[in-house]
């Protein structure tokens, strides 16, 4: 998809593959049959630049044909550079401006609570996204309103656009900060399905406070030359020799571009 587009954000999309895959195929009460029903579970990709993985999951669930991948980021396509709920069926929110998807998800969770609905809200944030002040406004809001029905998952791949998080600003210690903000924090390996499953189950048992899953991941996971290399944050796609290696490592050798 990234190669068709010629640009995009491969690094942060690859670190979130297992989390998004598990949510869409094992967790969410969300399908083409109920995606406009107010009682659906909601998944919000607050780190909207990682939409390559969201689009793959939605296509797999039948929301649109995979041939749309060829028009990603191109004019007249339904797949925008960042998610657009009015253009792409199954997308909940026009994320991309960091921090906003998280607050949007909090609003969904509060609406569920006020209306006594039992749907759950899952929102995926980047660790770099935690630089945004709005995110911390949201953490205060979620704890104050006791939003037991939201799970925020942080794709903690340790890198942001330019460099390691720790070389950009004083983000750590994330766990202690989130606990101090009144959230239950569960740390997992974000590439391990069993750990993802267990954390989501644990989140359901907690009453009266929201849960955040700090998922430790590898940026660019699965493509050897992209792993832990901030160059592959975006916005770009592999070319030449690197493209051949990437496709081989994804087991997509035969793909014609």
Partner 1 sequence: MRNGWFRIVISMRDTFGNCIVELARIRDDFVILDADVAGGTGTKLFRSTFSDRFIQCGIAEQNMMSVAAGLSTTGLIPIVTCYAVFASMRAIEQARNSIAYPNFNVKVVASHLGLDVGPDGPTHQAIEDISIYRSIPNFKIVAPADPNEMKAVFPVILNSYGPVYLRTGRSPLPTFLNKDIKFEWGKGQILLEGDDVTIIAVGVMVYRALEAAKRLEKEGISCRVVNMSSLKPIDRELIIDCAKKTRVIVTAEDHNIIGGLGGAVAEVLSENYPVPMSRVGVMDCFAESGDAKELAEKYGLDSKGIEKAVKKILKI
**Could you list the residues that contact partner 1 (CB under 8 A)?**
38, 42, 84-86, 92-94, 96-97, 99-112, 114-115, 117, 133-134, 137-138, 140-141, 144-145
Give the SS3 label for residue 213: strand
**CB of 118 vs partner 1, minimal distance in Å:** 12
Closer of 108 and 212 to partner 1 (Cβ): 108
Smallest separation, CB 97 to partner 1 (Å): 5
Nearer to partner 1, 101 or 234 (CB): 101
CA angle 78, 105, 84 (to 5 degrees): 10
Nearer to partner 1, 37 or 201 (CB): 37
Look-up: residue for tokens 């991309």? 96
Question: Beta strand 211-216 with 42-45: parallel, antiparallel or unpaired?
Answer: unpaired
Rounded to 5°, the CA angle 99-206-191 comes to 60
Shortest reach from residue 50's CB to partner 1, in Å: 17
**In 3-state terms, what secondary structure has residue 99?**
coil
What are the beta bridge partners of residue 75?
Answer: none
Residue closer to partner 1 (CB basis): 71 or 117: 117
Which of 239, 76, 234 lies closest to 161, judged by CA? 234
- Cα distance between residue 22 and residue 42, in whole Å: 14
Q: Which helix (H) or strand (E) holds 247?
A: helix 240-249
Closer residue to partner 1, CB minimum distance, 33 or 36 = 36
Characterize 80-102 residue by residue with b for buried, 16 or more Cβ atoms within 10 angstroms of its Cβ, and e for exposed.
bbbbbeeebebbbbbbbebbbbb
Q: What is the smallest separation between the CB atom of 54 and partner 1, expressed in angstroms?
A: 15
| Closest separation in Å from C-beta 119 to partner 1 | 9
- By beta-carbon proximity to partner 1, the closer residue of 14 and 105 is 105
The single residue listed with the structure tokens 């070319």 is 239
Q: Of 107 and 230, which CB lies nearer to partner 1 in the complex structure? A: 107
Nearest to 79 by CA among 8, 20, 158: 8
């Amino acid at each position: 998809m990234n190669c068709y587009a010629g640009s995009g954000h491969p690094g942060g999309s690859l670190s979130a593959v297992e989390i998004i895959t598990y949510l869409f195929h094992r967790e969410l009460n969300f399908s083409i049959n109920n995606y406009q029903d107010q009682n659906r579970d909601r998944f919000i990709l607050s780190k909207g630049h990682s939409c390559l993985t969201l689009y793959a999951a939605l296509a797999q669930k039948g929301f649109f044909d995979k041939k749309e991948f060829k028009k990603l980021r191109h004019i007249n396509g339904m797949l925008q550079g960042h998610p657009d709920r009015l253009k792409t069926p199954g997308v909940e929110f026009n994320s991309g401006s960091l921090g906003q998807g998280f607050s949007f998800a909090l609003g969904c969770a509060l609406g569920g609570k006020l209306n006594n609905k039992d749907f759950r809200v899952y929102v995926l944030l980047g660790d770099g996204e935690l630089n945004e002040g709005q995110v911390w406004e949201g953490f205060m809001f979620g704890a104050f309103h006791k939003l037991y029905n939201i799970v925020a998952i942080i794709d903690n791949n340790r890198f942001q656009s330019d460099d390691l998080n720790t070389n950009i600003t004083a983000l750590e210690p994330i766990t202690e900060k989130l606990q101090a903000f009144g959230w239950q924090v569960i740390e997992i390996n974000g590439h391990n399905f069993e750990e993802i499953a267990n954390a989501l189950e644990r989140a359901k048992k907690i009453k009266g406070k929201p849960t955040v899953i700090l998922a430790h991941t590898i940026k660019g996971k699965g493509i050897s030359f992209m792993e832990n290399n901030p160059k592959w944050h975006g916005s770009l796609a592999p070319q030449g020799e690197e493209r051949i290696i990437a496709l081989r490592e994804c087991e997509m050798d035969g793909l014609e571009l």
